[in-house]
Structures are given as C-alpha cells and as structure tokens.
Amino acid sequence: MGKFQVISHPLIQHKLSILRRQTTSTKDFRELVNEIAMLMGYEVSRDLPLEDVEIQTPVSKTVQKQLAGKKLAIVPILRAGIGMVDGFLSLVPAAKVGHIGMYRDEETLEPVEYLVKLPEDIDQRQIFVVDPMLATGGSAILAVDSLKKRGAANIKFVCLVAAPEGVKKLQGAHPDVEIFTAALDDHLNEHGYIVPGLGDAGDRLFGTK
C-alpha cells in the first residue's frame, strides 16, 4: 500500500471548513483553495533534498543549505487543480507547470482525458499532481498513468478532500505515489460526490454552476 497522510494543521482545517460551506462565494472559494494549497505545499515539501553551499555573509564565509538540484513540476488536473497551482508556485517559483485535462463522464463516472502538456524533462522531475478532489480515484489514476507513460517516476498526489474509496483505489493502482490530503471524508454518494465534501470543486472555483 502506498503512503497516505492527512495534513491536519489547524489553519488548514479552519480554512477548509469555510471552503466547504455552501454559502462561500466563488471569490472566497478561489482565495481559500489558493491559501490551503500553499499551506499544503509547505508540508508536502518537507523532504525535499538539501545540499551544502558555501556562502559569504557580511561577517564570514560559511557552509549552509540550499535545495539540491532536483527539479520540480506541479501538474494540476484540469480544471479544479488549476486553483492549487499559485499556492504551490508561491513557495517554489522556479517549478515548471504541466497540465492534464480530464473530466468525469457524469453517467459512468469514468475520467476522460482531453489534454496533456508537460515539461519535456518530466522524467527527471519530482512531480506534485494537484487536484482538490479525490473521489472515485479514476481521474488521479489516469493522470498518474499518463505521467508514467511519459517516463515520470517520482510522483506525489496532493488533494484537499479525499474519499476512502478513492484513496484505496489510487493506493492499489499506484503504490509508489504518496497521497496527501487536508481531509479524509466519510464516503461517496450514488453520484460519485464526496460526503460531506464541498460539492463540485471546478464549478465552485470558476462559478460555472
């Protein structure tokens, strides 16, 4: 089984509760997704490798730490994943951003891929796939399939709300992919929505419904 972690920082939990509220506006929803993504980004980048670097302070020479050469890529699953990109980029501004476009067929709940645009050297990058929702797990699994087909090997999946069904399915399909979520909810309803969840993340983020 792949590693799985709920990031339960108080600021994240507080902001997530506001995000879930039906009355939260599109503007606030967008700002909150951005803020929570930044806080998640801080936590999920804890094990980035460091290397020694010699620097000169105003006082003396000293050996300190800097991020090692490993390059990063942030890969949002469209549309809703886009809302998490800026939060991550505010921490790692030099990261490249790839896009995977996917929507769930509303009847079958199966994901349909419509766009893949990735940095050329994706096989050499530490990748953070971001999507606010991990429901059945279909979209996440197909996104990771797509990345692996193009040589990607070092992948972490970061979401805001996960259903136990989706976590289990993603862990089973890709045990090497570490999963981080801000909340593990109760279950999926008959329409594949997370309960209690926050509704349709893409629609709430972009005001399309």
Residues taking part in catalysis: 104, 108, 200, 203
Q: Is 197 in the site for ligand URA (CB under 6 A)?
A: yes
Nearer Cβ to ligand URA, position 23 or 56?
A: 23
Determine contact, residues 185/194, Cβ cutoff 8 Å. yes
From the list ligand URA, ligand PRP, none, partner contacted by residue 98 (C-beta under 5 to 8 A by kind): none
How far, in Å, CA of 91 to CA of 110, rounded?
33
How far, in Å, CA of 160 to CA of 84, rounded?
9
Determine contact, residues 166/137, Cβ cutoff 8 Å. yes
Nearer Cβ to ligand URA, position 34 or 154?
A: 34
From the list ligand PRP, ligand URA, none, partner contacted by residue 35 (C-beta under 5 to 8 A by kind): none
Rg from Cα positions in the chain = 18
Q: Is 156 in the site for ligand PRP (CB under 6 A)?
A: no
Task: Tell the burial category of 54 from Cβ atoms under 10 Å away from its Cβ (0-12, 13-18, 19+).
Answer: exposed
Number of residues that bind ligand URA (CB under 6 A): 9
Subset of residues 184 to 203 that bind ligand PRP, contact rule: CB under 6 A: 192, 200-202
Kindly tell me which residue out of 95, 135, 143, 152 binds ligand URA, with binding defined by CB under 6 A: 135
Determine contact, residues 39/8, Cβ cutoff 8 Å. no
Question: CA angle 178-107-76, nearest 5°?
Answer: 35
Tokens standing for residue 97: 């951003």
Subset of residues 105 to 144 that bind ligand PRP, contact rule: CB under 6 A: 109, 111, 131-140
Query: Min. distance of Cβ 160 from ligand PRP in angstroms?
Result: 10
Long-range contacts of 88-96 (CB under 8 A, 24+ apart): 88/37, 88/38, 88/41, 88/128, 88/130, 90/38, 90/41, 91/38, 91/41, 91/42, 91/45, 92/41, 92/45, 95/71, 96/71, 96/72, 96/125
Stretch that binds ligand URA, among 42-50, 90-98, 168-176, 196-204 (CB under 6 A): 196-204
Stretch that binds ligand URA, among 40-48, 81-89, 149-157, 186-194 (CB under 6 A): 186-194
Stretch that binds ligand URA, among 65-73, 95-103, 119-127, 187-195 (CB under 6 A): 187-195
Which residue ranges make up the site for ligand URA (CB under 6 A)?
133, 135, 192-194, 197, 200-202
Which residue ranges make up the site for ligand PRP (CB under 6 A)?
77-80, 102-104, 109, 111, 131-140, 166, 192, 200-202
